[in-house]
Structure 1
Amino acid sequence: MSVSQIKTLSLACTLAMAFAGTAGAQDLPIIHDKAWAAEKCQRYRAAWDELMARDGQQGLTADFLASHDRFMATGCIARADVCPSTDREMELANQLSIAAMNAGTASTFLPFACRD
């Protein structure tokens, strides 16, 4: 196989992988399952409550707690942008992420984001 053929094959594979996940995505319906959303929030809240009972709120900033409270108050559906800014907050965000994934939620469910 020549170098030119290898480059062409490599480009073709790259393009195929790039578009494989999007093919037909526009044809898929958007599913809004309120029962599952409520179940995910309940599972997440249980993990939060367990971690708070075990470790408390020491090391968590007022902004982190307020943003997280807003997320929980909406049934875990609003974009809350809970931004971990301390080591303790990052540790908690990681623990909650693992707990959420173990409970069957997707990573897009989590409220953790730092947009500034």
Structure 2
Amino acid sequence: MTLMQHDFRFLTLAGTRFARNTVVGALSLAMLLSPLVAANTATADAWSQKKCTLYGEAWRKVVEWQGREGLGHDFIDGNERFIAGGCSTPAGVCPRSAAELKAADTLSMMAVSQGITGSFLPFGCRG
């Protein structure tokens, strides 16, 4: 075996050893961190469910206080579909009438007062 072949063989073995150590290290780190990630995910899921429950309660209160007069079919259905879906997908509810704007404003204020960010809310108008 020539010197060059010997050096190449050493580099290949060293590279293999390095790659194996890197993979083992990465897997070890992933195993150590997975309980933390799982705990954070569980906390995030619990907060998402709590936000949806709070929004559902707020929606029922607003409809009770304000009534349905002036609220369009799309506005009502959009909010109820958002809640029924676990508040997990944007509903694109667009408040158009004065009554819908008042309801959306009230819902937004109620949500924010509970620590829910505006980006959670189903409101959004296109075009």
TM-score, normalised via structure 1 length: 0.70
In structure 2, what is the Cα distance between the partners aligned to 1:104 and 1:44?
11
The structure 2 residue matched to 1:61, chosen from 60, 69, 72, is: 72
Amino acid at match of 1:109: F
Q: 1:76 maps to which residue?
A: 87
Asked if 1:41 corresponds to 2:49, the answer is: no
Letter in 2 for 1:83: C
Q: How far did 1:68 drift?
A: 1.4
Q: Which structure 1 segments of 5+ residues have no match?
A: 1-28
Q: Which has the greater radius of gyration?
A: 2
Query: Aligned residue pairs: how many?
Result: 87
Measured against aligned partners, the alpha-carbon deviations of 1:6-64 in whole angstroms (never above 9, x if no partner) come to xxxxxxxxxxxxxxxxxxxxxxx9x6511100000111111111111122111000111
Runs of 4+ off more than 6 Å: none
Q: Which of structures 1 and 2 has the larger relative contact order (alpha carbons within 8 angstroms, sep 6+)?
A: 1
**Structure 2: gaps spanning 5 or more residues:** 1-36
TM-score, normalised to structure 2, is 0.64
